[in-house]
Structures are given as structure tokens and as C-alpha cells.
Structure 1
Amino acid sequence: MKYRVMVTGAAGQLGQDVVRTFQREGHHVLACDRDQMDITDQQQCTQTIISFKPHMIIHCAAYTAVDQAETDVGTAYAVNATGTRNIAVAAEKVKAKLLYISTDYVFDGTSRVPYREYDATNPQSVYGRSKLAGEQLVQSLCSQWFIVRTSWVFGVHGHNFVKTMLELLQNRPELQVVQDQIGSPTYTVDLANLVGVLALSEKYGIYHVSNTGTCTWYEFAKAIAEEAGKHGDFHLKATLIPCSTEKFPRPAPRPSYSVMDHLALRTNRLPLLRPWREALVAFLQELKDVQKNG
């Protein structure tokens, strides 16, 4: 059966891959970015959703400027909380499933064992608190919902750590990278494929989704340098130097440990994502193809 699928944040890093995933399967996709629908405008959300009557909404739209959110509190909540409420209320009107993309920032990062889906949340930043508010609104306003928390996302369509590292590795003599924050990278293509499987199911609930395995940002950067070095297209010259978080003070605190256990995927017999380093290799190949074909 082919479904009507609405994707918010469709021009974003994850949104573009989600749109492509559903289109590839032959579903009728309404790709919405802020030009097509302002999620902070309840009337506009309701009208758009009622006229399209989606079977499912993949809600990727978010305010993700983590440091800026510390001073731009109102906008962060307007998008991540109020905007999510608007989508949730309209989704319920047309009896659509709602899949909300959330973040590892809902945890405080003080654990030393991987976070499970039902562990207590304790966000330390405005961004994390506003995304948790979105989660709570989805759960309280919708009857058919999925919450997908992810971390360290990278893909060909947006700004991310991998692309930044590739640029800096080619243009700087040396590069300091934080080695006291641990997490799991997530490739948007793999995440989008899992979202496609999950949204078509009735296995509602909270899910932690990232590529398998863990690393520090420094280890991630080292892997990027090593794998990119195997491609003749990347001319890397920087030396990588590990450093502490204190060396790079930022307005918003980062979780020092944000590894997430994929308990819900396992218990629902859903596929785990491949190891992050394999995903990185696939990403570099995709990036090369995109650059070659313009």
C-alpha cells in the first residue's frame, strides 16, 4: 500500500534523506520546509495537514542552533515546543501517525553506561529542554506516536562535524579536537531508512537510533582523516591533537557521555544500524559522487 507522508524540515540534513527514502518506496510525499509551512503558525499547520490528510508525519523540523538557543530562548521553544504542539494537534485531527525526531541532549551526560529509552531525562541546555518539551507534547497530544532520539548526525546535505573536519583537515596545519566527550555518530541515510521502517509499523514508543559503536570526537576526527586519506580526492595536511572540552568553552554545555542503548530496537525486533565507521565510509563515497555529479 502506498501512503501519504508529510515531512517537515524537508530541506534539512535529515529531512532530505527522509523524503528520498519514502519517494523511493513510491509513497506520495509532501515535503514541507519553512517556505511551505511555518510550524509556529497553528492555523497554517492545521490547514496544510487537513488539506493533505497524511497517513503519517515525519517531524524533522527543529531549532538546532545549540549555542544560539541559550540567548534565543523564545525562538527555540516556539519551534521545538509550540511548533511540535501545532503539528501534533493537527496530526490527531486527521488520525495521522506522528514520528518526532529528538536528541541525545535530553540527557545530562553524567552516566557511564548507555542511556536506555526510559531512563530519566535531565537536559542541561535550552536546546535539550526545548526538544524534551516537544517530546512531552507529542506523548500527551497524540495517540499514535514515535519518538526517535539520535546523536552526532552527519549527511551530505547539511553542515556537520564530518564536513567541517574534511574542510579543516585540508586547510589547517594542525587541529585540536575534543577527546573527553563520548557518543555515537549517526549517518542520515541509515537513520532515514530506519525511520521509513518504523513509521510504517505500529510499534509506537521511544527509540534510540544511532549507528552502532562509540567514539570520542577526537577518535571520530581520526577515523575521518584515515578514511578520507584513502580517497585521492581529499588532500589532508592537518595534524590532529586531542584536547579537553575546557579548551573550547561554549555557551551551551555538551553531554560528556551521550551513548544511547538501542534497547527498543532490539525488543521490537527492528534492525540495528551498521557500525559508525562503515557508515562513515559510505558517506565519503556518497559525498564524492555528489561532488562529481554536481
Structure 2
Amino acid sequence: MQTAHTLDVLRKLVASLREDGSGERATIGLVPTMGALHEGHLTLVRRARERCDHVVASIFVNPTQFGEGEDLDAYPRQLEEDAAMLQREGCSLLWAPTVEAMYPQGFVTNISVSKVSEGYCGADRPGHFDGVATVVCKLFNQVQPDMAFFGEKDFQQLAVIRAMARDLDLTLPHVHQIIGVPTVREADGLAMSSRNRYLSSEHRAAAATLPRAMKEAIARIEDGQEVPPTLAALEDELLSAGFDSVDYAALADASSLAPIDTLSGAAARLLVAARIGGTRLIDNMAAG
């Protein structure tokens, strides 16, 4: 596995990967990450390897998607360990830019995606999705992959990225397909996340209530029970289990992310964010 820290080196290495020796254009899959890799990230790499000739993974803790008081400084950074994991999974190229390489002096551009970025995590983290859209747009321009792979755990983020790529005509030639990969979970159902490591053993045990309560709420909704009281009961269950607060618990249209109060046959998603022991956990599951 090769590693690039500057854009000129990245472009040379990507161009080299494109040439497979047979005259055919090799395909490239991009897996954007902020590092602190776990099985969820590695699953994205494996999916990319299944569908592409080469995998380019990026590791960049993006400062523009962290708000004031959030955990930018505390966010785990373990580039050497992450690189070893990527190499074991058959990644061809690691793009690990510095902040200065990604946002050179004088950088003044910001991408804002309305509607799908509003509400949910967008309401609780102002400016977060602007930072996500801007850095992912840059990654698409820098690597120009055939496919890009994102975990469905960050479902609103995936919707923002798809809207941004569509509206800015990035789908061709920059990235042909944006692939959502189902959430990878621990044995007790908790969605894998780099932030899970912040949880104490007590809080980690209580956190397993989140996926369990979500499944129960979905079952009740699919059984015809009213959505608002079902979501209220979900919030109460989380608070009783030891969660400090619930930022949101909503049933939404899976495409527009508009809140809905009934299942109508269209794909729907239960979206939840809750805080426990100072750690903010998010999850989502299909409904209907």
C-alpha cells in the first residue's frame, strides 16, 4: 500500500493505479474516513475491493465538521495503526492529507446542502454538514473514483452527500456511484462507531438499550400503533436505561428525510440520537 500526504503525490499515484497494464482503465473505489478505524470501516474497504480494481482510503479528521465545544482535539488519531489495518485489507492507496494540504491558506469556499441537512443532526450540530459536504466534494475532485462507499449508520450524512453530488454534477466523471453499506453492529446490536471507545463499561452496557428499543419501536409502528406516542415511549426507555438526553427520535421518509407520522408503503427510517456519559450516539433502522 502506498501513502500520499500531498495532492500532487496523490494524483500521480491515482493515475498510476488507473493503468492496469492491459490497456484497460482500472476502476477505483474511494472509502473516506476520519481514521480510528473499526470493523465498520473495514467492511467498507471489503465492499470496495469486491466491486473495484483498487481501493483508495482517506484518513482526515476534518476540522470544518466539528462545532464549538465538540471533540475535535480529543478525536482519536492513530494513523500508523489505521494504515496497517488498511494494508491487511488490501487497500492500494492511503490518502492522509494534513489540514494545510486540504485547506490551504486563503481557503474561503463552503458548500451548504439545504433540506436534507436540516433537522436531526443538522439542527444539533450547526455547520456540521457544510463541513461534510465541502470535504467530500474535495475528495471526489481529488481522487475521481468510480465508486465511493459510505456507511448507512450516518444516514443523514449519506443523504447530504448524494444530494451534493447530484446537484453539483459530480456523479460523472468524478464518481459514478455512491454506495451505502449497511451498518455494522456489535454482538449486542450497538452500531460500531469510533466514539464508542469513549464509553465507560457501565455506559457501554446501557448503550445496548438503543438498538433494542429502536427495534421494539419499529415493531409497534409496523403493527399499526401511533407514531408519536411510540417515539415518546422510546425516549422514555432510553432515559430510564441511563441515557442523559435524547436529541431526537423521528420516523422519516428514507429519501427526503421529511418526518412522517404513518407508514404509507414508501421506504421509511427511524432516526435516533441520544447522549450517555458525554458521548453522543446516533443510529437508524429501516421501517415498513
TM-score, normalised to structure 2's length? 0.36
Larger RCO (alpha carbons 8 Å, 6+ apart)? 1
